[in-house]
Amino acid sequence: MKTIGVVGAGQMGSGIAQVCAQAGFSVIMNDIKDEFVNRGMDNINKNLDRQVKKEKITLEEKNEIIGRIKTSIQIEDFVPADFMIEAVIENENLKKDIFAKLDNICRKEVVLATNTSSIPITRIGAATKRPDKVIGMHFMNPVPVMKLVEIIKGVATSHETLTITKDLAER
């Protein structure tokens, strides 16, 4: 697994993109407007600047992390993603619409994870042709500080999907 796609560049999405890039993954962070992805990158830069100031990372490491994050406003840019994490607002219809689009864009082996805290994974998975590859990955806020991810299976989520997701969360 090399590339993580993150749908949503708000507080949660940008935090998820940051921790994935810090773990060494290439990241595609997407939102519906340039201003949203730019704001997300600003948040990431500020978070990393604080880490540099506290001497937790070097300036060179910060630049490497930033260099691993590509931004996009086109959902089609997720074609190369090896794992997807959706982190948009808690709106079931919006999430289902995004998952249906990702289902058509992403390779069939790609896991589609949602950062939902309240919507049943089974209902989101039903919007796809791969409910066995749909899982919940609920990150705690603020993502770069909280080292905790709740993993939630749907009724159809496969053991393989659970294992892949657990392995990713542990990185």
Distance CA 138, CA 142 (A): 12
Token pair recorded at residue 47? 């978070």
Say if residues 157 and 135 touch (Cβ distance below 8 Å): yes
Closest to 2 (Cα-Cα) out of 92, 80, 101: 80
The half-sphere exposure of 137 on its side-chain side, counting CA atoms within 13 A, is 29
Token pair recorded at residue 45? 């830069």
Token pair recorded at residue 86? 């959706």
The SS3 assignment for 100 reads helix
Token pair recorded at residue 170? 């542990």
Closest to 9 (Cα-Cα) out of 26, 127, 34, 97: 34
CA separation (Å) from 67 to 60, 74, 89, 168? 10, 19, 27, 20
* Residues catalogued as catalytic: 138
